[in-house]
Structure 1
Amino acid sequence: MGIYAERPWLALYAEGQPADISPEHATMLEVFEASLAATPDAVAIRYFDGVLTFADLDAASDALAAGLAEAGFAPGDRMGLYVQNDPAFVIGLLGAWKAGGAAVAINPMNKARELTYLLTDSGATALLCLEDLYASVARGVLPETQVRTVVTCSPLDRQARDDPRVLGDVVRARPEETLDLEELLTTHAGKEPTAPAPGGEDVAILTYTSGTTGVPKGAMNTHANMVFNAEAYREWMRLTPADSVLGVAPLFHITGLVGHIAVALLAGCPLVLAHRFHPEVVMDAIREHRPTFTVGSITVFIALSGVEGVTAADFASLRTIYSGGAPIAPAVTDQFEARTGRYIHNIYGLTETNSPSHAVPMGRRAPVDPNSGALSVGVPIYNTVVRILGEDGEELPPGEIGEIATSGPQVVPGYWGKPEATAESLPGGELRTGDVGFMDEQGWFYLVDRKKDMINAAGYKVWPREVEDVLYGHPAVREAAVVGVPDPYRGETVKAFVSLKAGAAATPEELIAFAKDRMAAYKYPRSVELVDELPKTTTGKILRRELRDQSAPATPTG
């Protein structure tokens, strides 16, 4: 545990948690094969009314690997996964590994420019793609890439009772110039892969950063990285084959990859999927399949708790709920618990840490910092060392705010094809996260904000997260985002964008007064803009950048 060996947070591990873990399996394929050998007929995926067992997944991914190899996919190659939360994503992931290669996670909301960049940067030679995404996006950009093999699939595959709310407008459109996934699996049924098995240090999947500080970078998530954090999820959340995982995070995102797919494969339990997040559809899946664990962004849980007619009984099967990916205001967790009877445990990590680096221990409630009002993101998980660094890279004592720096078995070795970016962000293997936070005397960590989001109002530092947390305390506020906007007198000033709960009412002046009564004069928002919806990523993070851009003064022309 390095410099924190004497820190009191180690005592938190004594509360029913092992102090150390040593994964038995070095690769995700070995993880899958262990669960397959133990319970081949156990359910691996529930997708609407469709069911795939571990044996079904094994047979399908074997056939895909054989088909890819026949089409020229070689060991070391990479296959893009341009798919929603469908069984095809899991089949594609396992198939790429069995063919000796790696996968490239692609956001299904990406358009031509973004898809071209990801395929070109990763050097992908194959693409598994939804039929509609092939027709609308991929077909036009593939000639500019190295992709030689395209396999298309439909969200209607592997189930019969498609939900009209998310699949009602789906029409099968089999592109003749591509390989159809289900046809490929039938043609190559019974064939076994011949490629060498991957090793622990081999790249399992490239997951791309958002590119908010430059071009997106492909984090090289290795098999060993993923296995470690899959094991961390299983042990920390105490998951067994009797559990089931609700897949609310996008599978292309690191939370979906590790907190849904990897941990379900390791625990040998079902993964519940529903194509894409639609609150009413996911609530129906919860009622029907009774999952026991999930992890997702706080906006997901705000949406679920707001579904008309929802009761605490609907959430009774979910004994464990974790939320990460975006800051959580204490008032939001309180409101969710009051509505559902379930406490949301905080969790924190990045693409480069393969999901968690910190989490609130099971059975504990995260403390709230009395000064900032921030909810703790937890304590470092197993075998993870976290430091708080000052501007000059010096280590800061408890209570002082600085950049969070993380090292451990889950931290990626670097970025694909970008040695300079690797050296800058991962000096000596320690990840400089770009997140600002602090550790208290008891060892709990608190996330203050992103370094780049800090507002400088007349020389005073204002962290948007603190202002947002205050606004979430207003009974009418559903979501809030705070940004700095140009101000001729103060340089920058604080502006809030707020969406209100259904049926609730509040004026901008009322919200400004509410915040003014609860924080220092330089912090409260000078303006509030009411909006129907805040812009978000597909993982539920609110896009402050878009809000800043639309608030910026127009650039003079002529």
Structure 2
Amino acid sequence: MSTDHDRPWLAFHTGRAPDDRFESALDMLSAAVARNPGGDAVRYFDGRLSYAELDALSDAFAAGITAAGFTPGDRVALFLQNVPQFVIAQLGTWKAGGISVAINPMNREREVTELLRDSGASVLVTLESLYRDVAAHVVGDGGDSTVRTVLTTSELEYQTVDDPRVFARSARIECPGAQDMTELVERFRGRPAPVVATNADDVAVLTYTSGTTGPPKGAMTTHRNLLFNARTYRDWVGLDETDVVLAVAPLFHVTGLVGHLAVAVLTATPLVLMYRLDPALTLDTVEAEGATFTVGSITVYIALMNVPDASRAKLATLGKIYSGGAPVPPSTVEAFRAAFGHTIHNIYGLTETTSPSHAVPFGTEAPVDEASGALSVGVPVYDTVVRVVDEDGVEVPVGDVGELVVEGPQVVPGYWNKPEETARALHRDPARPRALHTGDVGYRDAEGWFYIVDRKKDQINAGGYKVWPREVEDVLYEHPAVREAAVVGVPDSYRGETVKAFVSLRAGAAVTGTEIVAFAKERMAAYKYPRQVEILDEIPKTVSGKVLRRELRER
């Protein structure tokens, strides 16, 4: 039996994230400006914003929207890609006492309408192209929203290189009915931001769930939630002022918000933005900027490995790498290490836990469960208690599978205007008012490591046998031709439900669905291996990398 001496990672699990005594996320910015006013806050291609400049620009944004009628508690919707304007508007919203609303730039009219209506946003900040294609139809004449002020901007601002890999289709666009954000900021530059008292338990962001299993819900992420997990990233990974944070996750997503933007401001380090993810550009950017840390979906790292001229030299500085948001196959971790010499550390969390509730301590090798082949998602982070419970909410023994229930300072207080959903997820047990029922099924081993089996709703019942898609996917990832894999249950006249796999292939690979079925059949029990395999160019995913299983089932 292992002793605590054999498990140095227990220092992470039992430790406590230091209290910086900040009351709001803006206190991080004030401290960063005081520590490093001339240092880079944002790098965007050849553009640079120092912390002093970022402070001034966000002041001007806050003053500008306040002059337009914005009041503390109002909401600002950010419908943007990873551009500097996102950071300016996010910080400026907090300075005006507001709540930001993160909107996926892939959303279309129906989805944007739903989020604006649900949040009651009074200000919308968006790219010119998104305004033309989507937002103008939502907030214009006949649109159904509460938006009073629309600010548009362009991905071409704050840089001059216009890299064709990302800007080939970019051009400045006239936006009738909207104000230009840069013009507003310049007009109010030099004016102080409004003086608004912000409490740690005030809502900072409405972070909408991805909606992969139902309508999106606005998690009420507080300043306390943000501060706690920004510190968790900093201390868990060992980040300091010498690091450079690379944004591969979208800033509208909780991973980008906390694991990129918030932790960069907390450590007063540069945040490197790339507008939209392009794998070849990402490799070049890491090399050019000396990026040291990032966290993103495993699909990002798969894409990097598939760049034709990828080399170790390109990623030499990027030694602090984490992956979350989607299952991480052990075979992919090994392939990435062979290609680049770096280890991908697993991390686990949800929108409702403000990013991580579990993580693999940096520099530690995550174990793989011998029975299932699953890679551990780590151990609970600071001040976090995780139980594994059965259908009745009773904690199950070590090694038994059940639903993960998380309690900690990162758990949000509830969902915006959804008391029933809040009660269902967070308030089932009066004695534990902030115990989040995650909907994820997993278990804890005797050493304290946690493993995620799958989402409860994704379990496949094949003739009475239970199949977890993730276990099948991990086997499929072992096939040398498979780039990505996703498994769902589909109707079957004999079994009621059977296993179907969708795969995309590596560049230049040639394999048939029948061959992949045979590969899996040799490695899995008869009830588990996929009876059907469909080869796709791309597996449909959310921007954060989660597989859209619902869309695959509908096929």
The structural deviation recorded for 1:16 is: 11
The structural deviation recorded for 1:539 is: 1.1
Letter in 2 for 1:164: P
Contact conserved, 2:540 with 2:547, CA < 8 A, in 1? Answer: yes
The correspondence for 1:77, drawn from 74, 79, 93, is 74
Contact conserved, 1:336 with 1:342, CA < 8 A, in 2? Answer: yes
**Aligned residue for 1:144?**
144
**Aligned residue for 1:476?**
481
The structural deviation recorded for 1:513 is: 1.6
- The CA deviation string for residues 419-461 of structure 1, in whole angstroms up to 9 with x for no partner, is 1110100121111000000000000000000001000000000
Letter in 2 for 1:52: L
**1:16 and 1:324, CA in 2 relative to 1: closer, same or farther beyond 3 A?**
closer
**Aligned residue for 1:507?**
512
Contact conserved, 2:287 with 2:316, CA < 8 A, in 1? Answer: no
1:105 matched to 2:102: yes
Contact conserved, 2:210 with 2:542, CA < 8 A, in 1? Answer: no
Letter in 1 for 2:354: N
The correspondence for 1:543, drawn from 542, 545, 548, is 548
Contact conserved, 1:219 with 1:415, CA < 8 A, in 2? Answer: yes
Letter in 1 for 2:316: A
Q: Distance in 2 between matches of 1:277 and 1:131?
A: 19
- The CA deviation string for residues 286-331 of structure 1, in whole angstroms up to 9 with x for no partner, is 1211100000000001001211111111111011000000001111
**1:505 and 1:411, CA in 2 relative to 1: closer, same or farther beyond 3 A?**
same
Q: Distance in 1 between matches of 2:405 and 2:258?
A: 21
**Aligned residue for 1:12?**
9
- Greater shift, 119-128 or 537-546, is seen at 537-546
Q: Distance in 2 between matches of 1:33 and 1:115?
A: 33
Q: Distance in 1 between matches of 2:60 and 2:12?
A: 45
**Aligned residue for 1:394?**
394
Q: CA RMSD of the aligned region, Å?
A: 1.6
Letter in 2 for 1:459: G
Q: Distance in 1 between matches of 2:549 and 2:372?
A: 20
The structural deviation recorded for 1:7 is: 9.4
Q: Distance in 1 between matches of 2:17 and 2:24?
A: 19
Contact conserved, 1:75 with 1:101, CA < 8 A, in 2? Answer: yes
Q: Distance in 1 between matches of 2:447 and 2:319?
A: 27
The structural deviation recorded for 1:397 is: 1.2
**1:260 and 1:20, CA in 2 relative to 1: closer, same or farther beyond 3 A?**
closer
Letter in 1 for 2:467: V
Identity among equivalent pairs (%):
59
**1:534 and 1:8, CA in 2 relative to 1: closer, same or farther beyond 3 A?**
farther
**Aligned residue for 1:354?**
354
The structural deviation recorded for 1:506 is: 2.0
Give the TM-score taking structure 2 as reference length: 0.96
Q: Distance in 2 between matches of 1:282 and 1:187?
A: 35
- Which SS does the other structure have where 1:144 is aligned? coil
Residues 270-419 of structure 1 mapped to structure 2, 5 A cutoff: 270-419=270-419
Q: Distance in 1 between matches of 2:169 and 2:552?
A: 31
The structural deviation recorded for 1:237 is: 0.8
Q: Distance in 1 between matches of 2:178 and 2:12?
A: 53
1:436 matched to 2:441: yes
**Aligned residue for 2:534?**
529
- Which SS does the other structure have where 1:251 is aligned? coil
- Which SS does the other structure have where 1:299 is aligned? helix
Q: Distance in 2 between matches of 1:211 and 1:540?
A: 13
Contact conserved, 2:17 with 2:232, CA < 8 A, in 1? Answer: no
Give the TM-score taking structure 1 as reference length: 0.95
**Aligned residue for 2:31?**
34
Letter in 2 for 1:22: D
Q: Distance in 2 between matches of 1:254 and 1:15?
A: 22
The correspondence for 2:124, drawn from 96, 120, 127, is 127
Letter in 2 for 1:219: A
**Aligned residue for 2:18?**
21
